[in-house]
Each structure stands twice: as structure tokens, then as C-alpha cells.
Chain A
Amino acid sequence: MITLQSSDKDVFEIEQSILIQSGTIKNMVEDDFTFIPLPSVDTETLIKIIEYMKKHADKTDSKEKNIKEFDKDFMKKTLNELFALVFAANYLHISSLLELLYPSIADRIKDKITEAIRQIFSIRCDFTPEEERRIIMDNKWAHEGTEIEGTLD
């Protein structure tokens, strides 16, 4: 059993076999650490990470469909939660989770106009009005209207 401690000082006791999905934890375990403080991961996020690792620990064929369903649902989170997971998964070197998170985030950008993306991701526009006008013109083709008008000869 390995003990993990979140940044909020909450402790979790988990089997080693589940935790070695995290490259970082695997290295620490191999170096004989049994108490692993994770000052960069808060409790809320750590709980989710543990949930993910528990589900993915058993990769038998019969569970594969099950796992796919779980993954799909697991991604139904707010953007902030997804980013917190990205940082945690990055830090803990859980590449399978990252491979799940990146496309999910990309999906939220898909087919959105610039202003929508700004709102969804809470990004402040830092262009001067001049620059912004020019950029809008340059990228008008992206989503506004149809690029092809059609009439028969």
C-alpha cells in the first residue's frame, strides 16, 4: 500500500499495483518511497486521478468496453476540471489519461468562432483594436458565412 498526500494534506492509501500507472509514482516506489506527498495536486483532482487509475488498472478484454464507456463519461467535466487533470496527469506522467484529455479539450474548440472560444476558455483579448480588425479580416474565412457561392451557368 502506498500513501498519497494531496496539496490539501488529505491522505489516500492505494495499492501499489494501481498507482504504478503513474510514471512518477512508479519511480518513487522503485526508490522505496511509501509515503508520497504531491504538493501540486489538490484533493479534488487527486480523487479523480485515483478513480481513473483504479478503473484502468484491470485491463482484461472483457472490461475493455466498460473502460471505454467510463472514459467517455470521465471526460464530461468542466473545462477547469479538465485542465486541473491535465496538469496532474502531466506531473504524474500518466500518458493514457493525457491522450484522453487533449482531444477532449480540442473538441471544445472545434467549430467555434473566435469570440465563443474566448468566452468558453475565459481568455482576454490582448490585441489593439487595429490589430483585431486586421486579424478578423485575415481569418474571416474560418467560420463566417459560406466560402463558396454557387449558381448554375
Chain B
Amino acid sequence: MGVKKVEEEEEENRARGKRLKCTFNMEKQQEGGAKEEHDYGEGEIDDDYEQFIGEDDDSDEDDEHDNDDEEIGDNIGVPCSQPVGFFYPLTTPSSIVVSDALDPDLPVIYVNTVFEISTGYRADEVLGRNCRFLQFRDPRAQRRHPLVDPVVVSEIRRCLEEGVDFQGELLNFRKDGTPLVNRLRLAPIHSDDGTVTHIIGIQMFSEAKIDLNTVSYPVFKETCQPHCEEFSEYSIKSGNLLHCQHREICGILQLSDEVLAHNILSRLTPRDVASIGSVCRRIRQLTKNEHVRKMVCQNAWGADVTGVLEHMTKKLAWGRLARELTTLEAVCWKKLTVRGAVEPSRCNFSACAAGNRLVLFGGEGVNMQPMDDTFVLNLDAANPEWRRVSVKSSPPGRWGHTLSCLNGSWLVVFGGCGRQGLLNDVFVLDLDAKQPTWKEVSGGTPPLPRSWHSSCTMEGSKLVVSGGCTDAGVLLSDTYLLDLTNDKPTWREIPTTWAPPSRLGHSLSAYGKTKILMFGGLAKSGHLRLRSGESYTIDLEDERPQWRQLECGAFTGVGSQNAVVPPPRLDHVAVTMPCGRIIIFGGSIAGLHSPSQLFLLDPSEEKPLWRTLNVPGQPPKFAWGHSTCVVGGTRVLVLGGHTGEEWILNELYELCLASKQDSEA
């Protein structure tokens, strides 16, 4: 259409206004169309347009599709007379617009007759344009009318970007400039592969009662915050800003459930959640949500840790788990008898848990002979039994080595005393492989060969080792890291300006995602070697990680007779609980102290204090670090109930940190 044509039409249309509408209505009742009623001039009418004129029933969608790709018809399927959304009355036909979503400007590719009637625009006048022209009062205007609410326009834009539905009201204009209120619903239409290919718009136009001459902004709805909630006692009398009116009242309750749960509650520790959960009904309800509780645990303890606990939470809900791990109210000793045998018998083996399986490697047999066999105990089985793992080849036999679990199912052996002296090799076994095999990892320049060193797993996939004793009998104080997520894992020394006095038989416990607590051991003290009761910590995330001593006092609470710190020891058990606190017990302790007394420390406190823990049940007589495994984050299994020659591996002592079963109704 030429420009001149448009102007002529406009003149005519403005003059005729409603008459045009009536003509259309009359038209619909006739068969075939009465073309002569329309002053669009000869040859102006597309064949396509004729289709619209010829329409006498809006619900007959099929014919209208000749205008466009046939695929669209398949997707529309919305007969005009059906209600769409809750505010469309049954009998009023809807105006429909379809736009091409693959074109960045979202051009209109289809409009129905109701649209044409309501807006006064013919299909051929609008096809190929973005439908924002409806916001222009004048068809020739370059900008939308200032009374069109920019907030709604922005919201429409956002919904289109995010591919979500939009519902709202907008000021539109007929071709003749009459203001309309367009109650609009937009919905994306997806192709089979999920791409948004079209946008369908359904409109309900009605008369707008506004004075176009006064551009005064109260015409915009004073929007409530998108995430505002009304609460019963303090009902909003006018549509005014919630926070202005109610400054003196609960801002926090004005947040939506979603924002409150995801952004505020999830950042609190389990204790704080319990505290705020007692404040009022609504917050209590939110804190009881299992998903919220899981998020709290994840944020407080880390994703790795909560991943390990997932298995546990099938029996015990997150809320209860968090509480029990905080209060340790359910902690107890249990005895577990298992079948099978680890033969030939041995001591100084190393054991570790991979999920619910305990793995044992090596050890010192009769005549100080280093062993090289591997055994597995599956605690998930109905009757757990020790079984030898048949492997093609084993690492060289050894004792005084470390066995650690990485990446969920890998067992990593490092160092130890072999047949021909001390070792510094690394072997990995994937327990989940079809045929588990020990594979050596070269690792570049390894640390010095050693035994009775300590190791821990950082962030689930990094092995950290420190200290130990060399061939020459020298004690070490170095720290090395091996990242097994790399294709070619390489040993990396962690250089520190200061290191704790060299030692063996100490413990390394990972906590707080990137920190390590070192405790105890037999440490160099002048030219002596003494049992140590000192604690040291390092944060591997620091730019230049440094070891520093942790000054820990003893907790003096109501009812405790003495404030005590753990007596110095080596070869003890150190376990990091999911909540980040560390439990210490067992080992070789000088004097008459009971090795089964449990001590608890939170190294992330400003001034960490040792607390003692009284645990009901029968504890093991002795417990050693290298033969203790942590299963599922909450079960500490001590292998070997006796010292001396006999190591009875069929009796396990289990320290349960949390209930096994949720006994609450």
C-alpha cells in the first residue's frame, strides 16, 4: 500500500468509525462478502484479505491459516469462544495475534477478525510489524503515547525474554485514536525441540475512561511490589506502598515465601532456623519445609557433605538430622558383628570407607611382613561380610601407609613401609569399576618416602598428606597436595613460612570446605619426641596458605566438674562431622586417661573450646586412626577391638552420631 492510500483510508476510517464496525458485523451474517461496502478501492484487497471478509464464524480457524504457515494452525487451536484466562467471559470472542518469535522484532504474522474489528486495523496493515503500534495513538506516530504504562511494557519484555506467560493490562489505541484498555495475555509456543517459535497474544479490548489531555501519572496502577504479600492482621486499605504505610511493622513478613525461604532462611544455620521458626506461624511453616531444610544444610555444611548425607536422609529428615548433628542428642556406641575374615591376620593396616563399603588394604603380618591384599565389607548387605577383592595386581605390600577415599568410590594408597623400605608411590582403586584394579599414579615429583604420615581428603577429590617419618628416622613437617581431578595429577608442595613441629601419627581433618585441622601426633620437641595435644589449622583457599597454631581452651559449662583439653596422643581418631565440628578420641595416650573419652572442637569459632562428650553405650577399649572409617557422614566405625597380637576384625564398634530411623510420626 502506498502512503497516499493510507492517508485516504485514515480520513475515511475516522469519519466512519463505528459505521465500519457495523459494516463488518453485518458482513459476517452474509455469505460471501459484500465488497462494495468497503471503500478500499479497486485492487486493494488481497486475496488473503478476502478470506477474512468472508469469515462468518470466528471459530472456524482453518480458513484463516491460508494467510500463513500451515504449522501455526496446529499450534493455535484456541477457538475464540473458549474462555482463556479467568477474566474472559464465555460469550465474548477474543482477539488473537500471533507473532514470529524467531525474528527478533517479533513481527505479527497473524491476526484474527476480532482483532481487526476491535482495533480498526486490517490484517494487511499490521502483518510484519511488531504489535507495539497499538500503543501509538496515531498510526503515523513514531513513539508510543506517554500514558502507556512503561512498567507494564517492561514486564511484557521481561516475560518474553524469559519465555514465560504474561497477563496484564495495557493502554492501546484503535487506528482512529480511540483509547482502549487491552487486557492482554501472552504465551510462548514451543516447537518440538523446546525452542520458542511463536508468541500468541489474546486480547480483550474495552473502552478506556481516560482523559488523553492530561498526562498525569496517577493513571498508572500503583503497583504493589511483585513479591508483596498481604497478611491478614494488617490488611492494606488502599493500593499504596506497603512499606511506606507500615514502616513500624514487620518488613520481613512482606517478602514473599519464595524470597524469604530461598534468600534469607537458607542462609541461616540450623540453630538460627529453629530460633526464627518459633517466631510466628508463617515462618514456622516455611521452616518446616523439607526443601528449605535441605538448602539450609547445604549452605551450612557444603554440597559435598550433604551429598554424602543424602543416603542418610532417606531414613531421617533433614530437620531432624540437622538438629541431631548440632545437639548430638542421639549419639551412642553400638557394637556390630560381621562375618567373613581378614586373613592372614595383621595389624597396622589402613582402612577407609567408600560410601557404605569399608575397604582395608595392606598391613603388617606375622614377622613384620608387609601385606598387599585388599578386603571389602559391604554394610548395605543384609549380612555384612569381609571379602577379599580379587585384583589383577596389587600395589607393593606395606604398613604404616594411608588409605583415603576420593571422588566417592576411589581408594588411594600413599606411602608406608614396604619390603624394601619406605615408599612414596600412589595407587588408586575404583571400587565401582566392573573389575576393580589398582592403578599407579605417577604424580610428577612425589613427596619423600615415609610412613606414619597423615592424610585427608579435601573437597572430595584432593589428597593432602603431611608429616611422617623417613627412612633415616627423620620426622617431617611438610604439606603436599595431589589433585586427582586432573588428567595428569601432579604432586604440589604447599610452601608455608612456618610449619608445625614435625611429627608422625597426627591427624588431618578437613573442615569448612578448604580448611584443615592438624591435631596431636608424636612431635619433635627439641631433641625429644613427645606426644602432642596441640592444634594447628590452615586454609588452602588463601592466596598463600599458612599453618597457624590454634589456641584452644576448655569449655567450662554448668555441671562440668573440670574443664579439660584432650591429653596429648598419637594415632588417635579424628572425625569431621557434617556440621564442621571435629571429634577426637582414642589413640596412644600417656598416663591413665581413658582413650574412649570423646572430645569435641569447633575450629571455626573465634575462640575454640574443647568440650567433652559423654556417650552412652559400650565404647571400644582402644581406637586407632588408621583403622577407623566414617560411613555416610554420621557413622564412625572402629575396626579391631583389641590391641596386641589379636586384631579381631569381626567386631566393629560404631559411634552413631545421628539416629538411624526417624521415630517421629
Report if A136-B612 is in contact (Cβ < 8 Å); known contacts: A40-B223, A87-B225. Answer: no
- CB-based contact B280/A39 at 8 Å: no
- CB-based contact B150/A152 at 8 Å: no
- B212 beta carbon closer than 8 Å to chain A: no
- A70 beta carbon closer than 8 Å to chain B: no
Chain A residues within 8 Å of B594, by CB: 152-153
- CB-based contact B268/A102 at 8 Å: no
Shortest B595–chain A CB gap in Å is: 10
Chain A residues within 8 Å of B558, by CB: 145-146, 149
- CB-based contact B557/A146 at 8 Å: yes
- CB-based contact B220/A37 at 8 Å: yes
CB under 8 Å from chain B, chain A span 69-123? 79-80, 82-84, 86-87, 90-91, 93, 98, 102-103, 105-106, 109-114, 117-118, 121-123
Chain B residues within 8 Å of A117, by CB: 275-276, 279
- Which of A20-28, A47-55, A57-65 faces chain B? A20-28
Q: How far is the CA of A7 from the CA of B284 in the complex (A)?
A: 34
- CB-based contact A142/B217 at 8 Å: no
Q: How far is the CA of A38 from the CA of B624 in the complex (A)?
A: 67
- CB-based contact B281/A113 at 8 Å: no
Shortest B618–chain A CB gap in Å is: 13
Q: How far is the CA of A86 from the CA of B252 in the complex (A)?
A: 10
A123-153: CB near B (< 8 Å → 1, else 0) gives: 1111100000001101101110111111111
B235-279: CB near A (< 8 Å → 1, else 0) gives: 000000111100111111111000100011001110110111111
Report if A36-B274 is in contact (Cβ < 8 Å); known contacts: A90-B225, A150-B611. Answer: no
- CB-based contact B153/A112 at 8 Å: no
- CB-based contact B222/A147 at 8 Å: no
Chain B residues within 8 Å of A147, by CB: 326-329
- CB-based contact B263/A102 at 8 Å: yes
- CB-based contact A149/B280 at 8 Å: no
- B597 beta carbon closer than 8 Å to chain A: yes
Chain A residues within 8 Å of B255, by CB: 83, 86
Chain B residues within 8 Å of A114, by CB: 275-276, 278-279
- B663 beta carbon closer than 8 Å to chain A: no
Chain A residues within 8 Å of B248, by CB: 122
Q: How far is the CA of A94 from the CA of B259 in the complex (A)?
A: 15
- CB-based contact B220/A110 at 8 Å: no
- CB-based contact B254/A150 at 8 Å: no
- CB-based contact B271/A142 at 8 Å: yes
Shortest B597–chain A CB gap in Å is: 6
Shortest A113–chain B CB gap in Å is: 6
- CB-based contact B250/A123 at 8 Å: yes
Q: Which of B280, B328, B600, B612 contacts A123 (CB 8 A)?
A: B280
Chain A residues within 8 Å of B393, by CB: none
- CB-based contact A126/B327 at 8 Å: no
- B407 beta carbon closer than 8 Å to chain A: no
- B445 beta carbon closer than 8 Å to chain A: no
- CB-based contact A136/B278 at 8 Å: yes
Q: Which of A24, A102, A127, A143 contacts B154 (CB 8 A)?
A: A24
- Which of B195-203, B418-426, B466-474, B559-567 faces chain A? B559-567
- B492 beta carbon closer than 8 Å to chain A: no
Q: Which of B132, B241, B271, B600 contacts A143 (CB 8 A)?
A: B271
Chain B residues within 8 Å of A139, by CB: 274-275, 277-278
- A15 beta carbon closer than 8 Å to chain B: no
- B613 beta carbon closer than 8 Å to chain A: yes
- CB-based contact B279/A141 at 8 Å: no
- CB-based contact B241/A7 at 8 Å: yes
- CB-based contact A127/B281 at 8 Å: yes
- CB-based contact B263/A135 at 8 Å: no
Q: Which of A33, A35, A110, A126 contacts B280 (CB 8 A)?
A: A126
CB under 8 Å from chain A, chain B span 301-336? 323, 326-329
Q: How far is the CA of A102 from the CA of B262 in the complex (A)?
A: 10
B471-496: CB near A (< 8 Å → 1, else 0) gives: 00000000000000000000000000
Shortest A149–chain B CB gap in Å is: 5
- B129 beta carbon closer than 8 Å to chain A: no
Shortest B274–chain A CB gap in Å is: 4
Chain A residues within 8 Å of B244, by CB: 7, 42
- CB-based contact A141/B253 at 8 Å: no
Chain B residues within 8 Å of A149, by CB: 557-560, 614
- CB-based contact B275/A112 at 8 Å: yes
B220 — nearest CB in chain A belongs to which residue?
A: A39
Report if A141-B250 is in contact (Cβ < 8 Å); known contacts: A37-B220, A86-B255, A98-B263. Answer: no
Chain B residues within 8 Å of A135, by CB: 277-278, 284
Shortest A4–chain B CB gap in Å is: 11
Shortest B253–chain A CB gap in Å is: 7
Q: Which of A28, A42, A106, A113 contacts B150 (CB 8 A)?
A: A28
- CB-based contact B279/A31 at 8 Å: no
- B157 beta carbon closer than 8 Å to chain A: yes
Q: How far is the CA of A27 from the CA of B158 in the complex (A)?
A: 8
Q: How far is the CA of A153 from the CA of B21 in the complex (A)?
A: 96
Chain B residues within 8 Å of A37, by CB: 150-151, 217, 220
- B233 beta carbon closer than 8 Å to chain A: yes
- CB-based contact B272/A112 at 8 Å: yes
Q: How far is the CA of A121 from the CA of B275 in the complex (A)?
A: 13
- CB-based contact B329/A87 at 8 Å: no
Shortest A24–chain B CB gap in Å is: 5
Chain A residues within 8 Å of B281, by CB: 126-127
Report if A83-B276 is in contact (Cβ < 8 Å); known contacts: A40-B225, A151-B561. Answer: no
Q: How far is the CA of A112 from the CA of B132 in the complex (A)?
A: 53
- B226 beta carbon closer than 8 Å to chain A: yes
- CB-based contact A87/B268 at 8 Å: no
A41 — nearest CB in chain B belongs to which residue?
A: B241
Shortest B579–chain A CB gap in Å is: 12
- Which of B277, B279, B281, B613 has the most chain A CB atoms inside 10 A of its CB? B279
The 9 A-B pairs of least Cβ separation, nearest first, read A83-B251, A150-B612, A142-B274, A106-B267, A147-B327, A102-B263, A114-B278, A27-B154, A139-B274
Told that A87-B242, A87-B254, A123-B280 touch, could you supply 4 new A-B pairs with CB distance under 8 A? A30-B157, A31-B154, A39-B222, A150-B611
Interface residues of chain B, those whose CB is within 8 Å of chain A, are 132, 143-144, 146, 150-151, 153-154, 157-158, 217, 220, 222-228, 233, 241-244, 247-255, 259, 263-264, 267-269, 271-272, 274-281, 283-284, 323, 326-329, 555, 557-562, 564, 594, 596-597, 600, 611-614
Can you list 20 residue pairs at the A/B interface with Cβ under 8 Å? A27-B153, A27-B154, A30-B157, A32-B143, A39-B222, A40-B223, A42-B241, A82-B251, A83-B252, A83-B254, A90-B226, A112-B275, A117-B275, A118-B280, A123-B250, A124-B250, A125-B279, A138-B274, A147-B327, A150-B613
